[in-house]
Amino acid sequence: MQLGWIGTGVMGAAIVKNLMAAGHTLTVYNRTKSKTDALVAQGATWAATPAAVAAASDVVFTMVGFPKDVEQVYFGEQGIFSQLAAGKTVIDMTTSQPKLAVKIAAYAQKHGIQALDAPVSGGDIGAKNATLTVMVGGDEAAYTAMLPLFQAVGHKVNYFGAAGTGQHAKMANQIMIAGTMTGLTEMLLYTEAAGLDPEKVLATLSSGGADNWSMENYVPRILKADYTPGFFARHFLKDLRIALTEADAMGLDLVATAQAKRLYEVMVDVKGLGDQGTQGLINSYR
């Protein structure tokens, strides 16, 4: 299958490698061309614009940073929809606004194109190992047709319903992660203050009721002072802002999530650490 991929960041590049390993031909685009060099060396084809990716592809994936980037990639002058023919499919794997997923799907349907919103969870490790969790919204027939592609990059794929529901599911995921990230950060600070061996504490908690994915994957990085991004803190802050906007629209007051957002605002907006991974939250406390 001729696939297009727009956005070859930390996770995007790893997913492209897995799709190529599954036997697909990839055309790739990234605003910073050098971030596609390794993929091109492995057999992918570079395209100069999102429109050029669309012209060469049966299915176009997108995984970019922010909703404004999604909007530009799809609806811009050199965007996907300027060249994508009827009968093709677009899949946005960016964590973005549910209402934008609905807008993309509405335009696609009007022009005979299939559209799915399919954000993922699992970070850089999940992307590298093809063990992502994929949350999909959009036309069910399109989902069924694209399922083999999702299964090539993830170990758990769930379909939630109409356009935007995949994004809503990802918001639920991010709300949960907000709690685990603040919890593991404060757990480590407490451990240090009490003079405990953090490695021993991690081993103990990982075998009991406190166990969670964030702790198992990020605490070892923190103990090595490794704050490289498996997932950028600035992107996580974006996600929390979207989640709280959606919650507000539904009449929900998510107090703990709002506090997590404020903590990440200190990290990203005040301390300028947005290019660290989400585990860098501990540096705001220190």
Spatial separation of the C-alpha atoms in residues 139 and 108, rounded to whole Å: 11
- Catalytically active residues, by annotation: 170
Measured over the CA atoms of residue 77, residue 57, residue 92 and residue 166, the dihedral's sign is: positive
Spatial separation of the C-alpha atoms in residues 162 and 137, rounded to whole Å: 5
Distances (CA, A) of 38 to 28, 65, 138, 140: 11, 20, 32, 35
Spatial separation of the C-alpha atoms in residues 267 and 114, rounded to whole Å: 39
What is the Cα 8 distance to its own chain's centre? Answer: 12
* Residue recorded with tokens 């794929």: 157
Residue 157, CB half-sphere, CA atoms under 13 Å: how many?
18
53, 187 in Cβ contact below 8 A?
no
Structure tokens at 87: 């009968």
